[in-house]
Amino acid sequence: MSTPLDTNALKSRQQAAWASGDYAVIGTTLQLVGERLAEACDLRWDEQVLDVAAGNGNATLAAARRGCRVTSTDYVAELLKRGEARAQAEHLNVMFQVADAEALPFAEGAFDAVLSTFGVMFTPDQAQAARELSRVCRSGGRIGLANWTPQGFVGQMFKTLGRHVPPPAGALPPSRWGDEEQLRVLFDRALGQMQITRQHFNFRYRSAAHFIDVFRTWYGPVHKAFAALAPEAANALESDLTTLLNENNVGGGASLVVPSEYLEVVITRR
C-alpha cells in the first residue's frame, strides 16, 4: 500500500524552494503576463482584487495600475517585500499580507476579482486551492489565472527537473493547471463561464548557458534541484536543460529566445 502524500511536508519543502535564490530576479521579467491578465479580466477602478501566490507582485501591480484596491498575498514574506518595494516606487496603494493559498484568511465573496500568475498552480493540494479562490470571489466576479501548460517550455523544464530530482510520490504536477479539462474539474462547482486564451511568453537570454546560470542562481526550484545533486548528476541536468533550451530556441545562433506556452484563464464565478 502506498503512503499517502504529506501535503504539509510538501508545502514546507516548496516554501523553502521559493524562498531560496531570489525569484524576483526572474519574476520581474514576467510583468507582461500580469498586464495581459488584468486586461483579460477587464478590471475596473475601485474593484476589490486579490492576488494569490503573488510572488513579487506582477498581477498586483497590473491591477493597482488600473485603480483597483489590491490585496497581495504569498506564503513567502520576502517575496511580498519585493512587491511592496515595487508598489511604493510607483506610489500605488496596495495591502500586502502573508497568506496560504489553501487557507485564505478572507470572507466568502470578499473580492470582485481573484488573480494568480504562475503561482497558485504550485500548491500541493490543488483542489483545496481552487476551492479557496472560488470561495473568496463574489458571484459574478472573475478568477484570472496564468498557468504554464504541460507541453510548453516551462512544463517541459519541470519534467526535466523531475527526471533528475523526482518529486514526492503522489504529488500532482503543477502543469495540471495548464490543462483545460483539469481546470474544468477543479472549478466545476464555481464555474459560470470559462474563457481560455493560449498565450506565449518569450524568455530572452544571451544563450542557453546564460539562462541556466540565471535560473540556477535565482529561481528556487532550479536552484534547489542543482543543490540536491552531486557534481556529476548536476552536469547531466545541465546538459539536458541545455538541449531543451536549444531545441526551443527561435532566436538563432547569436541569442536565446524561447517561447513558453501558458493558458490565460478567466473564470466567471457562478
Residue 4's pLDDT is 67
Report d(CA 213, CA 6) in Å as an integer.
32
Burial pattern 21-42, b for ≥16 Cβ within 10 A else e, equals: bbbbebbebbbebbbbbbebbe
Report yes or no on 245 lying in a domain.
no
Report d(CA 199, CA 37) in Å as an integer.
10
115 strand-pairing partners: 51, 144
Residue 3's pLDDT is 59
The count of structural domains within the chain is 1
Per-residue pLDDT of the chain (270 residues; tens, 9 = 90+): 455 678 888 888 888 888 888 999 999 999 999 999 999 999 999 999 999 999 999 999 999 999 999 999 999 999 999 999 999 999 999 999 999 999 999 999 999 999 999 999 999 999 999 999 999 999 999 999 999 999 999 999 999 999 999 998 889 999 999 999 999 999 998 889 999 999 999 999 999 999 999 999 999 999 999 999 999 999 999 999 999 999 999 999 999 999 999 999 999 999
Report yes or no on 20 lying in a domain.
yes
Widest Cα–Cα separation across the chain: 56
For 190-226, the pLDDT digits (tens) are 889 999 999 999 999 999 999 999 999 999 999 999 9
Report yes or no on 74 lying in a domain.
yes
Report yes or no on 35 lying in a domain.
yes
Enclosing domain of residue 28: 7-157+165-202+260-269
CATH number at residue 77: 3.40.50.150
Residue 2's pLDDT is 52
Report yes or no on 230 lying in a domain.
no
Residue 175's pLDDT is 95
Task: Give the three-state DSSP class for 123.
Answer: coil
Chain centroid, CA 93 distance in Å: 23
Report yes or no on 50 lying in a domain.
yes
Report yes or no on 232 lying in a domain.
no
Report yes or no on 152 lying in a domain.
yes
pTM of the model: 0.95
Q: Provide the edge-to-edge strand list for the sheet that holds 191-205.
A: 94-98, 69-74, 48-51, 111-117, 137-148, 256-269, 191-205
Residue 33's pLDDT is 98
Report d(CA 2, CA 169) in Å as an integer.
9
